[in-house]
Amino acid sequence: MPKRREQVENQNKIEEIKQDLATGAAASANETTEERKMTETNIEKTEMTTNNEENMHNEAVIEKTRVFVKKYDRKCFAVETKCGHVGRNNCIIITFPIKAASKKEAAARAKALPRVKRDHKDAIRNVEEIDYKKYRSLLAENNRNPYLTCKNVQEQRSYPEIEAMIEPDICNLERRDIHKRKKADYAYRMRKLELHYLSNCEEFAA
């Protein structure tokens, strides 16, 4: 009987050990599965981050390329403009070399330049597309023009060749004539009203 009892106890111990081993294996399996899931999740996040960074980089490269193409995809234009600072009723015609994508843009760029009478409707006289050689030639010509290089009125008056470039400003002359006519008409109407009022006063007094 003691031997039988001892065998039963040993058998029970063996069963307990097997259960412990099975429980430990299951726990290890669960831990391994969780670790695997966490690893897979981290890998997915890393891949998503990498893809986002690559997409952002590609978009930035595309935008830079577009801006570069837009900036340097320019044609050459000769824009004839009406410039001032030579008297209210006078002007000087200057042809500026402008790089732009279209004639409209070239005219807008020329209007924004110093000395151009941008508030006049006829500030832009003509816009013509030219080649790069002509563009460089106009640029060098304007760099030698004393009217465009002088810094003040005194310096401008010291160049007699500038006086030869001055032309009458037709737009301002027409404005002046219209203003004179309006002023004369107003004075005439006021004088007429005054005479009519005096005439009525004389009739009333009589």
- Could you state, in chain order, the average pLDDT of each consecutive group of 10 residues for the chain (206 residues)? 59 64 54 63 68 69 58 82 90 95 94 92 93 94 93 88 89 64 64 67 62
Contacts of 176 (CB under 8 A, 6+ apart): 89
Beta bridge partners of 91: 167
Distance CA 190, CA 50 (A): 83
Q: Sketch the domain layout of the chain as residue ranges.
A: 28-72, 75-168, 170-206
CA gap 152, 159 in Å, rounded: 12
Instruction: Output the CA–CA distances (angstroms, integers) from residue 154 to 90, 149, 159, 206, in the order listed.
Output: 18, 13, 9, 66
DSSP-derived letter for residue 86 is S
CA separation for the pair 65, 61 (Å, rounded): 6
Question: Which residues does residue 127 pair with via DSSP β-bridges, in sequence order?
Answer: 79
What topology does CATH give the domain 75-168?
Ubiquitin-like (UB roll) (3.10.20)
> What confidence score (pLDDT) does residue 72 get?
56
Model pLDDT, residue 69: 46
